[in-house]
Amino acid sequence: MISLKTKVWLSILAAPAALIFIYVITMQVRNPETRWDWNEIEVDTIDFPPGFQWGVATSSHQVEGNCNNNWSRWEASFKADGTPRIHNGDRSIVACDHWNRYKEDIELIKALGVSVYRFSVEWSKIEPEAGHFDESAIQHYRDVCLALKAAGITPVVTLHHFTNPLWFEDMGAFENEANIRYFVRFSQRVFDSLKDHVAIWCTINEPAVYTTQGYFNGVWPPGKQNPQLAGEVMKNLLVAHTRVYEALKSRVDGKNYQVGIVKNVFPFDPYNRWNPIDWFVCSILDGVFNQGALDYFQTGKFSFSLPGMDKVKYINKSGIGSLDFIGLNNYSHQRVKSQLNPKEFFRFEFYPNEEMTDMFYPIYPEAIYRSIKRVKDINVPIIITENGIADKNDDHRRRYIERYLYAVSKAIKEGADIRGYYYWSLMDNFEWSEGYEMKFGLYEVDFTTQIRTLREGSKRYMDIVARFSQ
């Protein structure tokens, strides 16, 4: 017999329990964790349309060497406890010496059989002081473009890939909307100088990564942990993109150029699909990291909200349509486990059977497929501007490449308008706070001798590129 007291309690709890149940079921239905049976899949049943752009990517700070910017200063500084900020105390210093070795590196790109090289221009070298442009640095990038074209390779330029000149960083960088004008001025200058050689322009690389690492986790410069500021920075980066887009498109022949942003999408999956708190955290993270920017381009509305901050809300109708293409970066997914710890109410934790890369995430090709399906809704052509694996033993690279490309091809067959795929990265390089230990390169780099050696696993990429480059 159930007592009256128990009956009362049960009736009080029934409604919230039912609501939580409905919430969990709705989340499960809306966010399936797609899993394919790779034992059944023939990875060679891929297809890519004629003219598909096969490429490789790098960024200036990670490969060039001798940068004097917010990152080089960060690398030389220490945490409050006196330990270095970068894994193993690494510093970028000469990196791959790509600034001096670009001609040899272009030969390496050519040897892969690809037809595109995505690289970034280093703002701190081009404009070392506010308003003072170094013509020799601009000439350097012109020379790079000319050498690429001579080798039959199309240059794709990124204007901002995480690094700022010190003068810009010291005035608050993208924390202040008023500073955006400096980035627009720089972008116009670079555009005017390189437009004879460059048709495809990426404005800003991964605004959400720049924001969360620099202003939420505080592990990248400027090392702040301030959700409110993170929201402002994220908004300002999107505004900066739109202003640069408008500025470049309104140049005399601007219409002839393709201008887009590079957006990283990382699906968030709950550790326990029956845990409503895991789902709740996933949806917050997804909003901040993925959906906020996607909404901005689809609706002109942006909102950013994390516990402990006032929601940042912004409406800019010119956000809609300020893209000729969207660059999509995807590497994997994240698995979220909530916990009863007010200082750290969730952590990322994977199942023991997930096949891990050397980074803190697994090989999960379905992630790129899911990410494509999301950015597809913006209705502009997609370029996969980055995808690749850190794999120092080179025993997963081959499988990673063939499976992720299978996923890309499947999305194309199902109607996604994907114009190209650029592998990250051409060669091992300075992997931000992870330093030199992460080996993303198709070419291995010996950082003592600067000798580059093609990895075995990379040949899978070369074979696929050759097959679809006729």
386 binds ligand GAL (CB under 6 A): yes
Q: Segment near ligand GAL (CB under 6 A), from 169-177, 201-209, 240-248, 296-304?
A: 201-209
59 binds ligand GAL (CB under 6 A): yes
**HEC letters along the chain:** CCCHHHHHHHHHHHHHHHHHHHHHHHHHHHCCCCCCCCCCCCCCCCCCCCCCEEEEECCHHHHCCCCCEHHHHHHCCECCCCCECCHHHCCCCCCCCHHHHHHHHHHHHHHHCCCEEEEECCHHHHCCECCECCHHHHHHHHHHHHHHHHCCCEEEEEEECCCCEHHHHHCCHHHCHHHHHHHHHHHHHHHHHHCCCCCEEEEEECHHHHHHHHHCCCCCCCCCCCHHHHHHHHHHHHHHHHHHHHHHHCCCCHHHCEEEEEEECCCEEECCCCCHHHHHHHHHHHHHHHHHHHHHHHHCEEEECCCCCCCEEEECHHHCCCCCEEEEECCCCEEEEECCCCCCCEEECCCCCCCECCCCCECCCHHHHHHHHHHHHHCCCEEEEECCCCCCCCCCHHHHHHHHHHHHHHHHHCCCCEEEEEEECCECCCCHHHCCCCCCCCEEEECCCCEEEECHHHHHHHHHHHHCCC
State the nearest-atom distance from the C-beta of 136 to ligand GAL, in Å.
25
User: Which position among 86, 144, 209, 328 is part of the footprint of ligand GAL (CB under 6 A)?
Assistant: 209
206 binds ligand GAL (CB under 6 A): yes
Minimum CB distance to ligand GAL smaller for 286 or for 431: 431
State the nearest-atom distance from the C-beta of 360 to ligand GAL, in Å.
10
Residues binding ligand GAL: number (CB under 6 A): 12
332 binds ligand GAL (CB under 6 A): no
Residues between 425 and 444 that touch ligand GAL (CB under 6 A): 431-432, 440
75 binds ligand GAL (CB under 6 A): no
Q: Segment near ligand GAL (CB under 6 A), from 47-55, 202-210, 229-237, 441-449?
A: 202-210
State the nearest-atom distance from the C-beta of 23 to ligand GAL, in Å.
32
User: Which position among 31, 203, 211, 264 is part of the footprint of ligand GAL (CB under 6 A)?
Assistant: 264
State the nearest-atom distance from the C-beta of 248 to ligand GAL, in Å.
21
383 binds ligand GAL (CB under 6 A): no
424 binds ligand GAL (CB under 6 A): yes
Minimum CB distance to ligand GAL smaller for 62 or for 92: 62
265 binds ligand GAL (CB under 6 A): no
State the nearest-atom distance from the C-beta of 217 to ligand GAL, in Å.
14
Contact residues toward ligand GAL (CB under 6 A) are 59, 62, 205-206, 209, 264, 329, 386, 424, 431-432, 440
